[in-house]
Amino acid sequence: MKNWKPLLASVAPAIATALGGPLAGAATRALGQQLVGKPEATDDEIAAQLTGADAATLLKLKELDVQFRKDMEQAGIDLEKLATEDRAGARSREIALHDWVPAVLAMLTITLFGLIEWQVLTRTLTETARAAVEPSLRVVETLLTFVFGYYFGSSSGSSRKTEIMGAGGKA
């Protein structure tokens, strides 16, 4: 699994959030310890554990996410606040510098997604062609998620709401 972070974002959103900011080292160490058995595990070693992860591994990952969130709260670190500040900082930079790069990248991502999707839907692809196109489509879908998260906000609040509802409404 080359890109294991989308899986991580869906199963362990707190750890995924931490990976994108100043707590990346702590998050990687926690993943390495729990999944690989050593805190200094590499991305490749973590990816190997997540490739074809079974239900037990996903449950272990979810439990790690809950514990990581608790540890961060006990340390006085608000992961959602960090993620929000990170997005706000990126947007402020774009405004202050009149930076057109994020907008161009967003448009290219949307266009690329549309073109690949159009090819998949309108062409009869051989199995070989489909095998080549589908991973690319998944990567572009992930990028599209980031584009919408950047411009319209993320669904992490929704994830937190779902988590609270699953815990019987106890925050």
Averages of pLDDT over each 10 residues, the chain, 171 residues: 69 78 80 85 83 82 86 75 69 78 90 90 88 85 82 58 51 48
Give pLDDT, residue 107.
Answer: 93
H, E, C per residue of the chain = CCCCHHHHHHHCHHHHHHHCCCCHHHHHHHHHHHHHCCCCCCHHHHHHHHCCCCHHHHHHHHHHHHHHHHHHHHCCCCHHHHHHHHHHHHHHHHHHHCCCHHHHHHHHHHHHHHHHHHHHHHCCCCHHHHHHHHHHHHHHHHHHHHHHHHHHCCCHHHHHHHHHHHCCCCC
